Amino acid sequence: MTDSEEMLFEWDEWKARALAQGVPEDLAELGRRIMRDAYMQRWPEDVLSDCGWDDDGFAMLALARAKPAETRRDWERLYARHHRRPACPVETDLRRSDKAIVSAPAPLLIRPPKPEGQARQP
């Protein structure tokens, strides 16, 4: 079995590095999401350098440490522009209401037995 540290992705390692160097948790998470989604959603090549893929995230880390407010603004704009996966409406509704997804009872899935004497059809 492998150690859990070996199972981390680049974006998880970047977030751990950012937190260790004093970047606020929410900004580190935003940076992690940008790195992950840029890769997973195949953002345009010209954007990947802004997402840490050309230098292992060192420029992103330097920006987050030096100018956190400006970096947050720029990363939120970048994320809003290139992120393609919309939020799941079910998850949004659940967070808002904390209600069950289905409020109606589930239909019966058991078929009633056939009356005796009725022939089986092939």
The tens digit of pLDDT for each residue in 54-70 reads 998 999 999 999 999 99
pLDDT value of position 116: 74
Extract the tokens encoding 74: 């720029």
* pLDDT single digits (tens) 76-104: 999 999 988 665 555 455 445 554 444 44
The yes-or-no verdict on residue 106 having pLDDT over 80 is no
Model's pTM, two decimal places? Answer: 0.64
The yes-or-no verdict on residue 50 having pLDDT over 70 is yes
Beta-carbon contacts of 44 under 8 Å, excluding residues fewer than 6 positions away, are 82
Query: Residue type at 92?
Result: T
Alpha helices in the chain (DSSP H): 10-20, 25-40, 45-48, 58-66, 68-82, 89-97
Q: Which of the four pLDDT bands, split at 50, 70 and 90, describes residue 36?
A: very high
What does each C-alpha distance from 84 to 1, 35, 44 come to in angstroms? Answer: 35, 14, 12
Report d(CA 26, CA 23) in Å as an integer. 8
